[in-house]
Amino acid sequence: MLDLFSFFDGMSKPLLRDVHAKAYGKKGLLNNALIQSEVMSFFSDKARAVSRFEKMEPWQRRCMNLLYHSGSRGLTYNELRLTVPVSKNKELRSFLLEMCREFLLWRSQASGTAVYLGFADFAHCFEIEPQESVDASKTFTEYGCLLDWHVCLVLSLAKRGELRINTNGTLHRRSYQICTAAFVTASKISAKAAENELSLIFSFLTQKGWLEQENSLLYPSEKAYEFLKTSAFRLHQYVLTWWVEERFRNDSAHCRQMLKCITDARGVSDAAYMFWVMDPSYRILESNRHLAWEYLPRPLRELWLLGLVKFQFQSGKVSAVMLSDAGREWTTTSVFPQYEGQVSMLPNFDLVVSASTSPQLLFTVACLARVKNDETFLCFNFDKDTYLAGLKSGIPESEMEQVFGWIKPPENVLSTFREWNSSFYGAKVRTVRLLKIDDLKILTELSRFSQFTECTEEYIPGYGFVLVPEKEHLAFEILESFGYCPFVDRSAKIRDKAPTDEWRKDFTIAWPEAGSPDYELKNEVDEATLQSALKSTKYSDVYQKLDTSDLVYVLRYAKTTGVYLAAKVRDPAKRAEKEREIMFSVHALHLAKAPLNVDIQEKDCEGVAPLQLSFIQEIKVLRKEA
């Protein structure tokens, strides 16, 4: 947040003198340094801010509280008017301008939109006491580490080739259903909760390059495999760091400060208002003591999915919000706590493992077995078909030995696993890279050179070597010192990075563009407010479904002014007919008898044709004449 010193330091000298005169009256000639010092001394007084806050009306206090909770994001007029009574909308603009002139707020202008922000000097001066009492003794529900498990589950589905995408980059309907159906715990809260978690997971995986596309299928990338092998214990911290970058523009201090406000249990309306500043796209239902999942700010929902907060539920709705133990530790240390994983393999081929165990193990097991539940302690069941299908997805034999070391299966289970492994790994059919060396003397020297043999899987006497694909480049570097520059014929599968645009579009929340301080503070209506007012009428430039009377008004307006209209039309009597879009001008209206008709001329067409009003499904006004 900007502080007053930086704000006044950027103000022009004539304006600064006017501000000084406002505070102290005319004092004659003063040097600029003294003027700035006295202005700072007067306007940075916290007692002045608190005294002014105490005299405000409740809706004004709410606005100041929200603006200071919004941190460096700020709030626009259109966003703030969603928090005040409708009768106070006209007063809101004057109030905001007054607070800017008293230097309790400041305003920035960017792309025709005014954004209001607070000063760092007055942080914590505009706090509001909790409006609701909460019974903290009642049970709170938290999500724990289930998000980690679901990330591993999605990667395992991709590994087994069960995730498909459409041509526009969205997840195929069946794949979408498979994923949301697996998020059972979230679905018990709300169907929207499972959808929010899926959006969070896929936004993370695609933006971090953990998924790749081959034709219409998604697969885990080498980057994902490498992370799970070397840094799996940091998965939750990695997701959380990415989330703070997305939602708070990497301002983790702001995020922690907001979380500290719910260290003690807060009523859901109070908590919703607090996090609404990061998702100010709707009006909060403050009269409700319980809110459904869909009416919570999206960042607050995601904090529950991330395990940082816990909810108290009543009749299927959220009644209270509180920081979880993991959230307390993260706000103090910026590190998500590590929980010890628990693993137990039973003789009946059931594996019980906690969701907090190593993501590398969870991912591998999810490829090999069927999961029977979606709880803190997960239960997997191994059967031959699923196990072999997992092996066929490309799990190396060395990883299987590592899994056996983790789960420590009973003797009967281990012997069965080894039998299944032998049926798969015992006879290998695979594509290999062969290096042939014609000079037998050099071939013998290379077979004894340890640095070279580390790059090979097998030595074939009298012929050459089977190369390790990942270490081919090292083998070629060594061959160059022996005078060889081998021709490399590659026909590897080409995979593209998984598309991110559709997921980013669904996940992104509006963030006002940063601008420079507005020192002039002219009382003008910004462009965004004008557009909002225009679009709220029936003469909007976005598609609307209008009743017949409003539709007639729009058609008459177009006929009188000559503007073009765009409409989506379809004959309601023909159910199989697809909706089509047309752009046209209006020539005449025939409203004397049914059916009501309008004579139109479509863009780039000659001649006038009739159009029944009942065919118009949605309509909009084209501001610029086509």
Mean pLDDT of 195-218: 96
- Model confidence at 470, in pLDDT bands (50, 70, 90)? confident
Identify the DSSP state of 203: H
Which one has a higher pLDDT value, 135 or 56? 56
Pairing assessment for the beta strands 516-517 and 105-110 based on DSSP bridges: antiparallel
Q: How far apart are CA 435 and CA 453, in angstroms?
A: 12
Mean pLDDT of 20-39: 81
The answer to whether 92 touches 544, Cβ cutoff 8 Å, is: no
Query: How far, in whole angstroms, is CA 376 from its chain's centroid?
Result: 24
Give, in degrees to the nearest 5, the angle at Cα 433 between 432 and 437: 135
The highest-confidence range among 77-86, 104-113, 269-278, 460-469, by mean pLDDT, is: 269-278
The predicted structure's pLDDT at residue 335: 93
Q: DSSP assignment of 395-428, as one string?
A: --HHHHHHHHHHH---HHHHHHHHHHHHHHHSS-
- Report helix, strand or coil for 279: coil
pLDDT digits (tens, 9 = 90+) for 608-624: 899 999 899 899 988 65
Q: How far apart are CA 455 and CA 469, in angstroms?
A: 8
- Model confidence at 625, in pLDDT bands (50, 70, 90)? very low
Q: Is 47 exposed, middle or buried (0-12, 13-18, 19+ CB in 10 A)?
A: exposed
The predicted structure's pLDDT at residue 525: 54
Which one has a higher pLDDT value, 126 or 1? 126
- Model confidence at 493, in pLDDT bands (50, 70, 90)? low
Residue 320 has pLDDT above 70, yes or no: yes
Q: How far apart are CA 310 and CA 321, in angstroms?
A: 6
The predicted structure's pLDDT at residue 582: 93
Residue 59 has pLDDT above 90, yes or no: yes
Q: Is 68 exposed, middle or buried (0-12, 13-18, 19+ CB in 10 A)?
A: buried
387-402 b/e with 16+ CB inside 10 Å = b? beebbebebeeeebee
Cross-strand pairs, 544: 619
Q: How far apart are CA 48 and CA 246, in angstroms?
A: 36
Among the listed ranges 218-232, 374-388, 509-523, which one has the minimum average pLDDT value? 509-523
Fold of 537-621: SH3 type barrels. (2.30.30)
pLDDT digits (tens, 9 = 90+) for 224-251: 999 999 999 999 999 999 999 999 999 9
Q: State how far the alpha carbon of 123 is from the alpha carbons of 1, 54, 523, in Å.
A: 9, 16, 26
Question: CATH number of the domain at 4-122, please?
Answer: 1.10.10.10
pTM: 0.78
The highest-confidence range among 206-220, 276-290, 534-548, 596-610, by mean pLDDT, is: 206-220
The answer to whether 300 touches 160, Cβ cutoff 8 Å, is: no
Residue 196 has pLDDT above 70, yes or no: yes
Q: How far apart are CA 508 and CA 302, in angstroms?
A: 13
Q: In the chain, what percentage of residues exceed pLDDT 70?
A: 94
Q: State how far the alpha carbon of 598 is from the alpha carbons of 100, 166, 582, 587, in Å.
A: 52, 40, 14, 8
Enclosing H/E stretch for 311: strand 309-314
The predicted structure's pLDDT at residue 325: 96
Mean pLDDT of 40-45: 93
The answer to whether 76 touches 530, Cβ cutoff 8 Å, is: no
Q: How far apart are CA 485 and CA 579, in angstroms?
A: 63
Query: What residue type is assigned to position 26 of the chain?
Result: K
Q: Is 115 exposed, middle or buried (0-12, 13-18, 19+ CB in 10 A)?
A: buried
The predicted structure's pLDDT at residue 626: 39
Helices (H) and strands (E) in the chain, counts: 27, 22
The predicted structure's pLDDT at residue 89: 84
The predicted structure's pLDDT at residue 526: 54
Mean pLDDT of 385-403: 92
The predicted structure's pLDDT at residue 109: 85
With a CB cutoff of 8 Å and minimum separation 6, the contacts of 354 are 145, 339, 341, 342, 343, 376, 377, 378
445-481 b/e with 16+ CB inside 10 Å = b? ebbeeeebeebbeeeeeeebbebbeeebeebbeebee
Enclosing H/E stretch for 561: helix 548-561
- Report helix, strand or coil for 332: helix
Query: How far, in whole angstroms, is CA 476 from its chain's centroid?
Result: 43
The predicted structure's pLDDT at residue 27: 66
The highest-confidence range among 18-22, 313-317, 521-525, 541-545, by mean pLDDT, is: 313-317
Residue 59: count other Cβ atoms within 10 Å of its Cβ.
Answer: 15
pLDDT digits (tens, 9 = 90+) for 247-276: 999 999 999 999 999 999 999 999 999 999
Query: What residue type is assigned to position 201 of the chain?
Result: I
Among the listed ranges 325-334, 517-526, 603-612, which one has the minimum average pLDDT value? 517-526
- Identify the CA nearest to 616 among candidates 605, 586, 607: 586
578-615 b/e with 16+ CB inside 10 Å = b? eeeebbbbbeebeeeeeebbbbbeeeeeeeeeebebbb
Which alpha helices (H) appear in 105-160, and where do they start and end?
146-159
Q: How far apart are CA 465 and CA 444, in angstroms?
A: 11
What does the mean pLDDT of the chain come to?
Answer: 89
Q: How far apart are CA 354 and CA 357, in angstroms?
A: 6
Identify the DSSP state of 164: B
Backbone angles phi, psi at 492, to 5 degrees: -70, 155
The predicted structure's pLDDT at residue 476: 87
Residue 29 has pLDDT above 70, yes or no: no
Q: Is 119 exposed, middle or buried (0-12, 13-18, 19+ CB in 10 A)?
A: buried
